[in-house]
Structure 1
């Protein structure tokens, strides 16, 4: 199995769920309203963005190209809620803010630079006509442990068991083909992170 550890900025995943029901989780609804659950995969001006929101965090996977010389973005991490419809991802090089409003997701460097893109990145915008919702997967392994979405993923201490159902999206950053960004639980008791693709049956995705 390929190592899921991409060389990307570190971020910690906060997870508080102790156990997950086997019931099918509620899928994200169509984007809309002043603030909404943006979980899913979006196509933006510069590239795709995968998002999963859970427990006050927004876990993301992003890749893109910008500028006349096609400079590359390649990132994975966890942004933390800063208010309704707003999350911030911070590291030593700067802060990237994710905002959801009226069916649109925006990413912008609000302090310093986006470390996973470099200087000059203009941000990105994602509209609802380029959104795909998460798909459902059933756990087929006896146990599947969540990993943090970070430069060196570690187990979060949370797991799902055979027969449980999770929501998932494919990662879009490089170096992670054997893993999915997944979410388990419901309402305010959700957790998100990386799950091994081989531990899940996702049908046709």
Structure 2
């Protein structure tokens, strides 16, 4: 009867007839570069498009600002670009540089719009003050406010009345009335008058 080794006995592994292959002897597996998915291509194209649109919208904003008035076409274009950029950010399709550009453009537009709104409020207040001052002068002078100074200077004054005894004092020159507004305008605008190149 053949004798089998007991379970407690150590069995020796027989060497294989084939030579052992080590990992260092094998060439490393070639990494297979996967082609970008259609979503990646679409998101990168969207990122490039929105990046270009943001730059164009900011340039158009500066041109409209120099013109002094924002056209309806610019406003619609700006809002459409902002809507697309917001949807792309929420969908994760914008790169970090384009997201930073979006933040920068929004911050710059917000600063300029806030300043314009503040200047418009000041201009409205000054116009209201000028209207109130003119109304007060008209109420004080009555119907004489509408009499031409030239006609009154040509008409002979009644005998025995000097210029000091006239009904109303002569109105101050318009330069004195407009001096505070002219000073404010010059203080708040760098180049208020057209140069020879602008004409």
Q: TM-score, normalised by structure 1?
A: 0.16
Q: Which one has a larger percent strand, Structure 1 or Structure 2?
A: 1
Q: Which structure has the greater CA radius of gyration?
A: 2
Q: Which one has a larger percent helix, Structure 1 or Structure 2?
A: 2
